[in-house]
Structure 1
Amino acid sequence: VFFDANQDGFDDLYVASGGREFSSSSTALIDRLYFSSSGKSLIRSNQVLPNPMRFESTSAVSVADFNRDGYPDLFVGCRFRLQAYGLPADSYLLLNDGKGNFTDVTRTVIPGLQQIGMVTSAAWIDVDNNQWPDLLVAGEWMPLRLFMNQNGQFTDQSSEWGLSFTSGWYNRLLVADVNNDGKKDFITGNHGWNSMFKASAERPLLMVVNDFDKNGSLEQIILRWENGKRYPYVLLPELLAQIPSLKKKYLYYSLYAGQTMEDIFSDAELQNSIRLYAHDLGSSAWVNTGQSFVRNYLPMRAQFMPVYALASVDVNDDGLPEIILGGNQSRAKPQTGTYEAGYGDILINNGKDQFTVLPRSQSGFFVRGEVRQIVDITISGSKHIVVATNNDRLHFFKLNTVNK
């Protein structure tokens, strides 16, 4: 993210670092802050961010002056704990002293970020229009979390604002006033409905995390509801490869068929496990009523894919923001299949908190592959949409106003 960290009039650059291929002691995980030298070059700061005591896998960075002292501060979200997928990771709030030096104030200002979970996206949003930026956080196997800012101190008010039982597999957040009522709403890019995984408040997905075979490495088992019982999705060969001690118990596939989690593991093993839930996999628009957020699912075509990229652009000059989205995920196990049914979409805002799909024959918007970012920029006075995809070139679309 580009921002003027040291208030010299030139944009500086914060670069997040992460990945599962690194050990927890790898310096490759240190985030990088580069100061602009009069706008001509970038010089790396020697600060160890976000946490000098432990290297993290960073997934989200968002800038705001949370204490209104005139200096931009940072939220830094972490994706997972190294070699411990499923355990809740810490995220951080970093206070800027005005010279580009950042201090971790999480413990005293917003302790709810400690072990918050596996964060994928975050956004600053002034929910109550009091001029103090509030913090919205989303992630995988975790509910949407809203931290309200009260004079520079944060409290978790997720449930008060209607965000209970919202755990999902979220990939992206976007803040926008979808109905132009002056209250900030937001959009969530989630896993979608086009997969073998199904979730609801009544029948959530469950992931059980434990070192079942006591070898120092965690196992993660995802369960589904069926006839009032929970059954594992994992196939027997994969389960036995991770937990060889079960080979004597399941000599044949027929012995594994119909086994519940309680059949496979003892009560003691299950009691010591971490349980993570997903109640909702749909990508949605969340409308701010002034007292709570009301969820409206995006059209069905937006649910065909995991949504990783969102942009808000008024494409028809009616004063209402449309949604441009993309996603897909090609890296998946054979038994689940890849998630590549999306080719990018433009959703037209009807002004009543709902969206409809603009046909591609009219939009001209078509992108293959794994879309990971969409932004709008102006080139020579004309607005363009820029789409970034994994292992591919940038895609540019010139925006011509469509009929309202």
Structure 2
Amino acid sequence: LIQKNGLFHKTEQPFFDENKAPEDTAAEFFDADGDGDLDLYVGEGGNNKTLGSVFFSDRLYLNDGAGNFRLNPFSLPQTGYNTAFVLPFDYDGDGDTDLLVGSRSTPLNYGFPPQSYLMENDGQGTFSNVSASKASILRTIGMVTDATLGSFSAPGAKEIVVTGEWMAPVLLEYGPFGLMEKKSSLQDYPGWWNGVEAADMDGDGDVDLVLGNRGENFYFTGNEEEPVKLWLGDMDKNGTIENIITRTIDGKDMPVPMKAELTDQVVSLKKQNLKHTEYAKKSIQELFPKEVLDKSLVLKATWFKSVIAYNEGGGNFRMEALPASSQFSCICGIYCADVNKDGQTDVVVAGNDHGFMPQYSQLDANFGQVLLNEQGKFSVMPSAQSGFMVRGVVRKILPLSIGGKEGFIVAVNNDTPKIFLLNQGDQVN
């Protein structure tokens, strides 16, 4: 807990210790029960348990007003998916805080769109799943990663932008009717989107978007003419769903996995007795029957750059790529603030991803960047000048105020959080 002197005081939280077995993948403080203090939602995830496992049971801890948190075990509907984010907002305007809970993936079945949830608060901190009647879009929205609130299509509009992997950013509008998808130009940019932050980046009074993507320093990439695809289907008709990534080469969908990888996954391919040189020339259409591929779910990605999406009104956005060095790795954490106090909104970003198979290497070229806004054009501030450098895998950057000083906290996987404060000049410490 932050003290008045700006220091942190560690408190004993027995309910946290009792529930440390699951893997925590999301967390959000908000007032769940309307008593004026901040309660805590903790989302669970992982890929080593089956769908619906108790290890994927999200938890709500209620604050007693003195910083002591007690588990409220029957306050949430059970989801069973990998929780990516929790977005508190009052969707129906009744004065209490409801939740959009985004699911990252389906356990043990990567690629198939998981169910995300709209949870309605009864005003006392007990939530019910109203997705079926109020937000059917969430049933198949995709493998989501992040979301942000704002008025994007018009002043006063109640909207949310949701990002995800193997999908385009989605613009949703909300009200007492629930959640509905709204048409926008964002739908033309399917990618591996990791994060989103809303801010006025060009000073014109509307809300723009900073969108973190995979970047372009990877084993394969794609574009509109040559998309990367993810095929999901029962390729060998044994009742098990396989997932296969292809990239477009000379107009053909060529499998990305090596021959041994794919034949281990789809044993029936061994019957073709393909040599490695033969396999290297085969498209997925030449490896599997048409009737099998026709029944498959196919996701695609055509845009991998991290960008500023400038709002042009009516759901239209103009995409401007971040500087070239910002594309050397993925961007996941995003923080917007006027770092150098020139009246323009700058951007702090971080990322990296070490979770790929060895042959694809890992995304580790991002040590954190401060991007200075110069009339809508962004330049990278040298780390020696900015004072901002973070090693490791960063998933989130959140604003933080300590002793009246503006700053942010950086969440690093398998490491302690890092705290940075903005100086009066142009540094981050």
Q: TM-score, normalised by structure 1?
A: 0.93
1:330 maps to amino acid = H
Conservation of the 8 A alpha-carbon contact between 2:154 and 2:313: no
Does the alignment pair 1:71 with 2:85? Answer: no
Match of 1:389 in 2: 412
Counterpart of 1:172 in structure 2 is 195
Which residue does 2:17 correspond to in 1?
Answer: none
AA of the residue aligned to 1:386:
I
Matched, 1:199 2:226: no
Which residue number in structure 2 is paired with residue 83 of structure 1? 108
Letter matched to residue 195 of structure 2: R
Using the alignment, how far apart are the partners of 2:421 and 2:65 within structure 1? 32
Q: Tell me the residue number matched to 1:147.
A: 172
Distance 1:166 1:130 in 2: 24
In the alignment, does 2:46 pair up with 1:19? yes
> Which residue of structure 2 aligns with residue 232 of structure 1?
255
Show the 5 A alignment for 1:2-401: 2-47=29-74, 49=76, 51-52=77-78, 55-129=80-154, 131-149=156-174, 152-158=177-183, 161-291=184-314, 292-352=316-376, 354-401=377-424
Identity of aligned residues (%): 35
Given that residues 91 and 175 in structure 2 are in contact (C-alpha distance below 8 angstroms), is that contact kept between their aligned partners in structure 1? no
Matched residue SS, 1:263: helix
Amino acid in structure 1 at the alignment position of 2:180: T
* Residues 60-110 of structure 1, C-alpha deviations (whole Å, 9 max, x = no match): 110111222111110001111222211111111111121112122222222
1:146 partner SS: strand
CA offsets 1:158-206 (integer angstroms, 9 cap, x no match): 3xx2122211111111111112322111111110011122111222111
Q: Deviations over 1:122-151 (max 9, x none)?
A: 112222455453121111111111112355
Paired residue total? 399
Letter in 2 for 1:320: Q
> AA paired with 1:120?
T
Extract unaligned runs of 5+ from structure 1.
none
136-145 vs 216-225, greater mean Cα deviation: 216-225
Could you tell me which amino acid in structure 1 is paired with residue 190 of structure 2? S
Q: Tell me, which stretches of 5 or more residues in structure 2 are unaligned?
A: 1-27
| Distance in structure 2 (CA, Å) of the matches to 1:384 and 1:124 | 21
> 3-state SS of the aligned residue for 1:66?
coil
| Contact 2:226–2:249 (CA under 8 A) maintained in structure 1 | no
C-alpha deviation, 1:28, in angstroms? 1.5
Of 124-133 and 298-307, more deviation after overlay is shown by 124-133
Q: 1:155 to 1:397 in 2, by over 3 A?
A: closer
Where 2:264 maps in the other structure, the secondary structure is: helix
Larger deviation, residues 172-181 vs 336-345: 172-181
Separation of aligned partners in 1, 2:153 and 2:357: 43
How large is the Cα RMSD of the aligned pairs? 1.9
Q: Say if 1:180 and 1:66 are closer, same or farther in 2 by CA, change over 3 A.
A: farther
